[in-house]
Amino acid sequence: MTVSPLVIPIFIPHSGCPHQCVFCNQTAITGQKATLPDAARVAEIIDTYLAHSMPRPQVEVAFFGGNFLGLAPGQISDLLESVRPFLNTGVVHGIRFSTRPDTVTKDRLKQIGTFPVSLVELGVQSMDDQVLAQANRGHTRNDTCRAMDLLDSFHMNAGVQIMAGLPGDTREGVIQTAQVLADMHPKTARIYPALVLKNTLLARWYQNGTYQPLTLDQAVDISGRAYGVFNQAGVTVIRMGVHMSDAQMGSILAGPWHPAFGHLVFSRILYRKTIRKIQALGTTMLSGSIQLRIHPSEESRLRGDRNSNLHRMKKKFPGIDFRVWPDPAMAIDQVKIVKIPV
pTM: 0.91
pLDDT bracket for residue 333 (50, 70, 90): confident
pLDDT bracket for residue 169 (50, 70, 90): very high
Q: Quick one: 12 exposed, middle or buried, by C-beta within 10 A (0-12, 13-18, 19+)?
A: buried
Give residue limits of the domains in the chain.
Answer: 6-259, 282-339
Lowest mean pLDDT among 18-27, 170-179, 211-220: 18-27
Secondary-structure breakdown of the chain: helix, strand, coil percentages, each rounded to the nearest 5:
45, 20, 35
Question: What is the residue-averaged pLDDT of the chain?
Answer: 92
Contacts of 10 (CB under 8 A, 6+ apart): 37, 42, 45, 61, 62, 63, 64, 79
SS3 per-residue string spanning 304-334? CHHHHHHHHHHHHCCCEEEEEEECCCCCCCC
pLDDT of the residue at 246: 64
pLDDT of 136 strictly over 90: yes
pLDDT of 226 strictly over 70: yes
Query: How many Å apart are CA 183 and CA 179, to the nearest integer?
Result: 6
pLDDT bracket for residue 28 (50, 70, 90): very low
Query: How many Å apart are CA 136 and CA 23, to the nearest integer?
Result: 9
pLDDT of 270 strictly over 90: yes
Confirm whether 6-259 and 282-339 share one CATH topology.
Answer: no
pLDDT of 225 strictly over 50: yes
pLDDT of 97 strictly over 50: yes
pLDDT of 198 strictly over 60: yes
Mean pLDDT of 136-153: 97
pLDDT of the residue at 165: 97
Please name the fold of domain 282-339: Hypothetical Protein Ychn; Chain: A, (3.40.1260)
> To which CATH superfamily is domain 6-259 assigned?
Aldolase class I (3.20.20.70)
Residue among 325, 328, 331 at smallest CA distance from 291: 325
Mean pLDDT of 133-150: 96
pLDDT of 77 strictly over 70: yes
pLDDT bracket for residue 19 (50, 70, 90): low
- Express each pLDDT in 240-255 by its tens digit: 998 876 657 888 999 9
pLDDT of the residue at 227: 98
pLDDT of the residue at 66: 86
pLDDT bracket for residue 335 (50, 70, 90): very high
pLDDT bracket for residue 30 (50, 70, 90): very low
Structural contact between residues 18 and 70, judged by C-beta atoms closer than 8 angstroms? yes
Query: How many Å apart are CA 201 and CA 199, to the nearest integer?
Result: 7
Please state, in angstroms and as integers, the Cα–Cα distance from residue 242 to each residue in 111, 125, 161, 262, following that order: 31, 14, 12, 9
pLDDT of 34 strictly over 60: no
Mean pLDDT of 120-147: 97
Q: What is the largest CA-CA distance in the chain?
A: 75
pLDDT of 160 strictly over 50: yes
Structural contact between residues 183 and 233, judged by C-beta atoms closer than 8 angstroms? yes
